Amino acid sequence: MSEGFTIAIDGPAAAGKGTVSKAVAAHFGFAHLDTGLLYRAVGAKVLAGIDATDAARGLVAEDLEDDSLRTPAVAQAASKAAVIADVRAALLDFQRSFAARSGGAVLDGRDIGTVICPEAPVKLFITASAEVRAKRRFAELAGRGIEDSFEAVLADVKARDARDMERVEAPLKPAADAVVIDTSDLTIEQAVAAAVEVVLKASQR
Ligand code: CDP
């Protein structure tokens, strides 16, 4: 089932999309693209004084390797840049080419099932309560030595959710045919198993 098979995974901030996407990609031997990193790379450039659209148009692979991309400040800048239609348009071809690669691909983000790959045979929407998501992000940041209060992390998650859902261009929402997985009460293993099961079912259709 790998030939051009695309798995689209969307969901709000810190819902566990990255973890589930990586595990699903490894399970099926597919390539994985964290599309949030593209927007984070643009956000980092905006913080460095570069125009958002110029940054998106000039993005190169090395821009995605910067450790600072995982900070809350860059996440906020990313979600502000992500409302700009020209920014999203500049990143479209790269994402679609990645999705069409022959070995199969998992893409995770906000608009993969709705805009980037509306024809994907598998669409997942991974979500969890804002409190659970903030707890996970808080622990992840602390593990990387980034000290932020829980309240600040929760506020970041909620602010980005609101901006991502309310924007005109490619707002965050489940595709009509997406399978929603709420990971609030699931372990990582359970969430991954649920996602793998959805993919297997879809591939048998
Ligand atoms: O890791 P987390 O879920 O917190 O965020 P991310 O996936 O790295 O995305 C950072 C920001 O980029 C999001 O808040 C969105 O505003 C934006 N984004 C987007 O608009 N479309 C995507 N396909 C991926 C990310």
Tens digits of residue pLDDT in 76-133: 999 999 999 999 999 999 999 999 999 999 999 999 999 999 999 999 999 999 999 9
pTM, entire model: 0.96
Q: Any residues with CB less than 8 A from the CB of 36 and at least 6 apart, and which?
A: 18, 78, 108, 109, 110
Which pLDDT belongs to residue 190? 97
Residues of the chain with pLDDT under 70: 1-3
Mutate to test the pocket of ligand 1, among 160, 163, 165, 172 (most ligand atoms within 8 A of CB): 160
Q: Which residues line ligand 1 (CB under 6 A)?
A: 13-14, 18, 35-36, 39-40, 75, 78-79, 82, 109-111, 160, 164
- Measured by CA distance, the residue closest to atom 10 of ligand 1 is 36
- CA dihedral (124, 128, 20, 107) positive or negative: positive
Given the candidates 3.30.300.30, 3.40.50.300, 3.40.50.720, 3.30.300.280, the CATH classification of the domain at 6-203 is 3.40.50.300
Q: Any residues with CB less than 8 A from the CB of 162 and at least 6 apart, and which?
A: none
Give the span between the Cα atoms of 111 and 87, in whole angstroms. Answer: 14
- Domain residue ranges in the chain: 6-203
Which pLDDT belongs to residue 3? 62
Which pLDDT belongs to residue 1? 59
